[in-house]
Structures are given as C-alpha cells and as structure tokens.
Structure 1
Amino acid sequence: MLTYRQLLILSYISSIEGGIQASFLMQALHISEKTLKKEIREINQILPIKEQIEYSARRGYWLSLVSSETQELIEASFQNNLEEYIDKDRTNQILMILLYEKDYISMETLANRLFLSKSMLNRHMDKSWRLRKYIEVSPVKGLKIPWSERQKRNFLAKYFFLNTSTLPLLNEKIDLEKLMQKLYYILQTLMVEHHYYVSGLAFTTFYHYLLITIIRQQQGFTLEDEASPLPVSNLMNEIALTIQKEL
C-alpha cells in the first residue's frame, strides 16, 4: 500500500506529461533529494515491472504507463490515507494553535478558535493519529503539546510556514510580508559578504527557523539555557546583531 507522501509523488509524476524535475518535487513536498530517491525506490517496489517510474537528467521522473491495476492500487491507498487528504489542514490548524500556547488550552476555547463544535473537534482528535501522538490531554487542565521550546521551533521550521491564513489563528497582529522580506534580505546580504553560500532546502529551513524565532520571542517564548553552549561563528553573530538592530 502506498503512503500519503508516495501518493502525492505518484500523482505529480503521472499527471505531468513529459516528465517532472526532482527539484520541483523536493520543493513541493519539502523533502531532500535523498528522501525523494528513497520514496521513488519504494514506489517502484510496489508498482508492476512494466510501470516503473523512470528517470533521466533531461526529463526528470516520468511514467510511461498507468494500468487499471495501478489505478486500483492508487484508489485503495487513497482510501487508506483518507484522513491525510481530508483532515490534514484542520490537523495543522490545531497543532499551530497549540504550538503557540504557553499553557494548557480547554477544548471549548480551541473549538471556538477553529469555529467548530466541541463534538466535531472531539471526533477529529479521536481519528487523527498525529494529534493523539503529539498532544497531552488533561481532563482538568485541557490540551497541551509538552515539548521544549527548541523542539517546537525545530518542528515549526521544518513542517509549518506562517502565512496570512494561519497568522490570525495565533491572535497576532504583525506585518508578516514586510518581516519576511526584510529577514530574507538580511540573510542573503550577510551570507554573500561572508562568502557563505547556502541555497535550497537548507537555506529555506534556516530562514523559516529565524522567522519563527523572531515571532515567538516577540510573544515571550524563550529558549531554555544550555549546559554547554555551542560556539557561534562571526556570520551567526552578525546575523543576530543585525536582526536585533533592524527588526
């Protein structure tokens, strides 16, 4: 059976004629080249021999044939991953709110923030393995994600991105577009000045981490003290000082 991510990869490759470049898939799915290749290998282990995903440097990835058997496999996998397709946005909204709460939040408050009834929110949480895995539930206090601040920032930087639709969930008034543009300019300028060239997923994740750090620090979230602080490069020191001065 195909996983949710494998279904997404297969849907992209099968729907775009002439082939699709690896860089597009990596950017669209927020995954590394190593992860993409691993997923392709696993997909090909499931697909019939005559319907293997092929690759060339010029065309990228493509499929020559999609039989009725493969269509049935896709449909069965879709049904198996139905929660991912239908409820992923709502799950992300719930996680986003809880990741930006300093303490427990009641089911009633969370339901009101999402414009849902408590019964509908309960049903969604019961069937979402992600929510069951990440959220600590107290019958008295309510809901909370019991992670350290560092864990929360890393998770948000890798899997979430703030935008004009998610920001209102945090009850935060901020000129996000202006902040994003200014931060991007600071990073690009200083990295070039220090002859430190980073691009692709590495740069994007670092940029997201700093953006989230700025917003969370404005809201009063601070990192725990480290027993053995890591040494900081001249570039990182200058980035920190420039952000403090200009943002």
Structure 2
Amino acid sequence: MFTERQFKIIAGLKGAGEWVKGSILAETIGVSVKTLQMDIKKINEQYQDKPIILSNNRLGYLLDCSDIIFNDIQNSEDKKELNSQGVYGRSKQILMLLLFEKDYIKIGDIADKLFLSKSTINTNLAQVRRIIERTLGVNIEVSASRGIRIQASENRKRIICMKAMENKVDYATILGIDEFNNIYYYEEILSDIISKLFIEYDIIATGESYKDFIRFLSISILRSKLMFEEVELENNDIDIEDLVIEISSKVKDKINYVFSNSELYYIQLRVQELNLIKKKKQENQMIIDSLNRFEKEVYMQTGYSFNMDKELIDIIANHIMSMKKRILSGRTNIGNYTKEISIRYPLEQHLLKTCLCSILGFDIPESELDYLVLYLTAAIEKNREKVKLLIVSDKSVSSIYNLQQYLKYYIGERITEIETIPLYIFKQKQKEYISKYKLFITTEEELALKSKRFFLINQFIISDEIESIRKKIKDIEKVEADNNVKKMYDKYFKRELYEVGKDEEITLDKVLRRFKVNKDNKVSIESIG
C-alpha cells in the first residue's frame, strides 16, 4: 500500500499532531523537499475522495484522517512486514527450522516445509552460516547422504533462537510445531514477572536487553517442553543469586514450569550479561585504567582529546565488563546498525579497533563495536566547541533583553556566548568582533544590506527565524568539524598508509579506499566528524 518512506511520513505527521513545515519534515525523514512532495502526492492519490494529508504554503503539512483510516494504515504495515521478510528473513526462517530439528534434515525437506525452491535454500544457507558464526562453538554439519544440521550445545542453540526469532512470523505453521503458539503467552507472563523483579532489585536494563532476556526464558521453557533438554551440569554446587531463584519460583507459580539446575545457571549468566542503564558500582578498575590509556593513546596519535568524564568512563567500563562476559560465553549483541555506523563513523571505529582492542587484549566483534562507537561520538559531540553569537542592535534595552532570553531558551544548547552591542560600536571595532565571533545577527537593515555576514531578524523574533539561525549554526559546526578532521588526518594517518607519492595530496577518497569504505555510500567529512 505504502512504501517504507511513506509510512515514515505518515508516522511523523501523526506524532507531531499539528502542522509541520515541509523542510523540517523532509529533514526528519532524510529526503529532499521535492521527494517529500512527490511522496505526499502519492499518499493522497490513494484517498482521492478525501486526501489524508493537508498542505498549506505557510504552515506546511497536517495529517487529517480518522482513527479508522489510521488503523487501516497500521494494519497494512503489519501485513507488509509479515509478507515481505526478504532474503534475511528467509535465512532466519531456515535457521529456526534447523534449530528445531533433532537430527539431520535434507535440503529438499527444508524446501518443502518452507515452500521454497532448493536453489533458494542453498542461496540462503550462506547467510545462515554468517549468522551462526557470530556465536562461539556453533557450526553447520553437512552430510552428503543425510543432509545438514546445526552442531552446538543446547545453551548455544537457545541463544541463537533468541537472536534469530522474529515477532511477526507464524513459526507454528512454518515449523509445524503447534506448541510454538504458547511462546507469546509465556512472554506476556514473563514480562510482568521480570519487569517487577527488575524494579525490586533496582536493575534498569536497556529495552533491547530486557526483551532478549524475556525471549531467552520463553525459548528455554518451550524447548524443554519439546524435549530439547539442557544437559545437567557436572558440578551442581553453584551459588544461584536471589533474583534468579525468585524468577524460578514465580515461573513455577504462573506457568507451572520448573527450571533445571543447568537452566538456572545459564539464566544467571544472561542476567550478568544484561546491558544496564543503571547498575551498582562494580570492581572494574582494570578496565577504567585501560580506558584512560586508550584516551592517552588516541591523543598521542591524533592530538585529539575525548575528555571523557568519570560518569562516561564508568558507563563504558560497565558496558565492557558485560560485553566481555557475552563474548566469553559465545553470545554477542546483534549488530542492527553495523553498516550505518561503519559508513557514518569510520574514524571512531578505526581508533577503537587499533587502540582499544590491543589495550584490552581481546578482539571486539563489529556488532559489539557499534555500541562503543556511539559512546565515543557522544563524547566528541559533548566536547564540540559551541558557537559564539554577536547581536548588533539599536533597539531598546528591554527589546534587547527579551531577544537575548528568547535566543537562550531556543538555541542556548548550541551557543556558548551572546554579546549585544549597538551599531556605532561595531563600526568602530569591526575587525575585533569579526575575529572573535562566528555567528552574526542584527535587527538593523542597514547592516544586513552592507554585510553578508549578518542575518537580519525582527526584534520580536519568530519561529522561522529561529530555524534559520539553527541552520546557520549547523553550517558553522560543519566547517569546524571539517577543520578538526583534517587536523586529525594530518597527524594520525601517516602518508605511507595511503600508498601515495611524496608530493601527492591526501584526499578523503584515498582515506576511504584505504579503510575499504565504499565511496558510493556517500560518506562525507561531515559524517566522519
């Protein structure tokens, strides 16, 4: 019914609940204004009797549809997801089928169960291999006479199920396992149990980590009931934490299922591997020391200091501790944004690979590296030098004060200093002020006409002018980012890395080729910075 981009437009307008300017909506969606206009036209063509998106030259766009129509739109999106899983979705379906087979299965039988051709199955098996290779101790065994199967411990298989299972797929029908319909019932009950216990134990896990944990528990219950039983531990003398004991007790009461000792042990490991937003202070001084060394190493190599504060270092150290446990147990986070992050932040990713991994003493999978990259970019953004603003105005003191307060309220997070002077002072000390400030606005038409530097505003500033000032700040920050990246390249990326001649210029294209980043992905110095 609609393309993914058109769904984003409808969702964006629905979330706003009011008129939204085309330029702002286009930037939010990530398209040009012209593309936005074409998409909105196509959306309205499907409702010729009464267009659902209103347009106004001054106000922008407004979603104007009843709840019934909007529910129909949502339902069509659900069907779209169910019916268009794509190549990656098919690979996961093949993987799930293999995980719920107790013995070898032939390619033809897989094709029959999934209503796909043998060639499609063979094509997707390469992707299946790539998925399972991310989990330590798992591989595909192939027999010419018997077929294929996944060779792994039951714990590893449950971990892969947790990562591969998708919500909007009818596995009961696909796999021919009626009991699979119970898993969503388990998850509903488990969600209530775990959320209350996490609050009681003051554990604030990320939403993604929390959902994974619920899914692991529900998969464990389902597979045990299907007789995919966990092998008992050789040593049962293991201290199980109070939280895990309470989980077990409540699951027994609500679902009438009793976890085995080995299941309790692996549940405890999953708890320790949770990505936590808030956690009790851990003994992680070695990792903190490693992060401090990493910061010094980056400064020595690039001349750039992240200036990570204690809070950020503690957060990253806690993340690395959980990450290390996941890596050692053979479970890594899913890299949902690996491609986007490698395109957008190649420099940060490279610094982590070359500096942090060697300091920590172990390799970090790219899917886990994504999360660390985002911590670094947050540090860089925090340290970004804010813009200094000069206002030249001959208006009254009260008008100037009102204007300053308005600017501080709406763009205060983007500027570090506001100074207001009358026009006659600027004329006398023009060079001094131009060298000191980056952004110039004025209420005086005379100055705006004479100098391109100055942006003319009304003393009673309006929202359109605020948006224009934001854009100017963004342009200034882009120039500063370009200059900073160039300095880092000049110091860090040695000429021999690029294999260029002595007098040959080092360009961004050469940098991208050196680190195998596809130029067609439209990476820019701005995105790296």
- The TM tier, using the shorter chain, reads 0.5 to 0.7
Residues 19-42 of structure 1 show CA distances to partners (whole Å, capped at 9, x for unaligned) of 99xxxxxxxxxxxxxxxxxxxxxx
C-alpha distance in structure 1 between counterparts of 2:26 and 2:103, whole Å: 46
SS of the residue corresponding to residue 135 of structure 1 reads strand
User: Of residues 147, 152, 156 in structure 2, which corresponds to 1:151?
Assistant: 156
Q: Structure 2 CA distance, aligned partners of 1:125 and 1:177?
A: 28
- Of 249, 259, 275, 1:241 maps to 249
Q: 1:114 to 1:225 in 2, by over 3 A?
A: same
2:144 counterpart (139, 144, 150):
139
Classify 1:125/1:203 alpha carbon distance in 2 versus 1 (closer, same or farther; 3 Å).
Answer: closer
* Cα displacement string for residues 142-161 of structure 1 (whole angstroms, at most 9, x for unaligned residues): 11000110111112223433
Equivalent residue, structure 2, for 1:92: 92
Q: Calculate the aligned-residue CA RMSD, in Å.
A: 3.0
Residue from 195, 211, 225 that aligns with 1:188:
195
- SS of 1:137's equivalent in the other structure is strand
**Aligned partner of residue 168 in structure 1, secondary structure:** helix
Residues 235, 185 of structure 1: alpha-carbon distance in 2 compared, 3 angstrom cutoff = same
- Report percent identity of matched pairs: 28
Kept after mapping to 1: 8 A contact 2:92/2:164: no
Whether 2:113 is the aligned partner of 1:113: answer yes
Kindly state the Cα deviation for residue 97 of structure 1 after the two structures are TM-superposed: 0.3
Partner SS for 2:205: coil
Q: CA deviation at 1:227?
A: 3.3
Deviation at 1:110, TM superposition (A): 0.9
Indicate the structure whose relative CO is greater, using CA pairs within 8 Å and at least 6 residues apart.
1
In the alignment, is residue 165 of structure 1 matched against residue 175 of structure 2?
no
Residue 39 of structure 1 aligns with which residue? none
Q: What residue number does 2:328 align with?
A: none
TM-score (normalizing by structure 1): 0.58
Deviates more, 1:123-132 or 1:184-193: 123-132
String of CA shifts for 1:32-56, please: whole Å, max 9, x gaps. Answer: xxxxxxxxxxxxxxxxxxxxxxxxx
Q: 2:124, 2:104 → 1: CA distance?
A: 19
Relative to 1, partners in 2 of residues 1:128 and 1:197: Cα closer, same or farther, differing over 3 Å? closer
Unmatched 5+ residue regions in structure 1? 1-14, 21-84
Larger radius of gyration, structure 1 or 2? 2
Partner of 1:62 in structure 2? none
Deviations 1:80-102 (A, max 9, x none): xxxxx952111111101001111
Deviation, 1:132, is 9.5
Give the superposition deviation at 1:228. 3.9
For the 8 Å contact 2:161–2:219, the answer to whether it is kept is yes
**Could you tell me whether the CA contact under 8 Å between 2:141 and 2:149 is conserved in 1?**
yes
Distance 1:142 1:235, change over 3 A: same
Query: Quick one: distance in 1 between partners of 2:127 and 2:182?
Result: 36
Instruction: Identify which of 240, 246, 255 aligns with 1:232.
Output: 240
Distance 1:208 1:231 in 2: 24
Instruction: State whether residues 96 and 164 of structure 2, in contact with CA within 8 Å, keep that contact through their aligned partners in structure 1.
Output: no
Match of 2:27 among 17, 21, 36: 17
CA offsets per residue over residues 95-131 of structure 1, 9 Å max, x none?
A: 0100111111122211111112334433443687538
The match for 1:201 is 208
Runs of 4 or more above 6 Å deviation: none
Match of 2:346 in 1: none
Verify the 8 A CA contact 1:126 1:132 in the aligned structure 2: no
Q: SS at 1:136's partner residue?
A: strand
